[in-house]
Amino acid sequence: MREQTLSGAPENQAIVATAGGAHYRARQFLAIAHNEVLALRRDVLPFMLVIVMPLVFTVFLAPLYKEFLRADGYHGASGYELALPSMAVMFSFFLIGSTAYSVYREYTYGTWTQLNASGVPVGLVICAKVCPIIVVGIAQQLFLVLGGALVLGVDLHGQIWELAAVAACASVAVVGLGLAVLGVSRTSRQVQLAQTLSATVLAGIGGAIAPPQLLPTWVRAIGRISPAYWSLGAYRHIILGEMTSIGLSCLALLAFGIGGLLLAVRLVRLEEVREPWV
């Protein structure tokens, strides 16, 4: 009687093939992410700016935030309680351009066609490219908010894990906006314009430039469409102890990130031709 080995069964062949395919995709993901890390290491200046410039602006704005917080009942406030997270969130929007540039760089180097020929799914390419940028965003938020708080003597009312969770979700949201810009843009100039507008308009209506209480009523009404609103609300809970739902803020920030990813996967095609970054 003819015996059939375990590996010869059709259902087991499918399992082996699926496992092999998953392993191959994982290797592709790691290879693309590794190349992105190498590219980021070659050009660290933009990422240094999103750390250095917030520190400079924090020094200038802290006295203004100090007067606002003391008028709001925080009599022992130094101003850094709001200045640090506000500037960290505002300058994190400049990662929007870095996110889009991670793809436009392939057109500049002429390597986008190689990715297309390799048969890698566009979703995998995008996720692999943005993961290192998300890590950079998390590091930026933690360095400025947590590091700044420790150095400047700002007391935290929340837990460190809450701060890390908010930093991660805020980074995902900003990268999601970058992916949305990538999906709808067709030239590098459009990306640069979107980055500038987001760093001013979205940061402004979200309360990163001035506290929401000082903004006009109509601006406060639309502030929820900005990730800055949700990020700063969570940071105020952690730093000032305000009764804000961190869980709701994190869900809103993740929604921005997932929405941008879905839009990019829908609109970006490996076979399309775009203008190189200039």
Give per-residue pLDDT as tens, 142-151: 999 988 888 8
Q: What is the pLDDT of residue 47?
A: 79
Give per-residue pLDDT as tens, 114-132: 776 777 788 888 888 899 9
Please give the share of the chain, as a percent, with pLDDT higher than 70.
86
Instruction: Tell me the mean pLDDT in the region 80-87.
Output: 92
Give per-residue pLDDT as tens, 18-32: 545 788 888 888 888
Q: Where are the domains of the chain?
A: 17-267
Give per-residue pLDDT as tens, 171-218: 999 999 999 888 888 777 888 888 888 888 999 999 998 888 888 888
pLDDT, averaged across the chain: 83
Please give the share of the chain, as a percent, with pLDDT higher than 90.
29
Q: What is the pLDDT of residue 200?
A: 87
Query: Given a cut of 80, is residue 10 above it in pLDDT?
Result: no
Rounded to whole angstroms, the Cα distance separating 217 from 212 reads 9
Instruction: Tell me the mean pLDDT in the region 5-10.
Output: 41
Q: What's the pTM?
A: 0.84
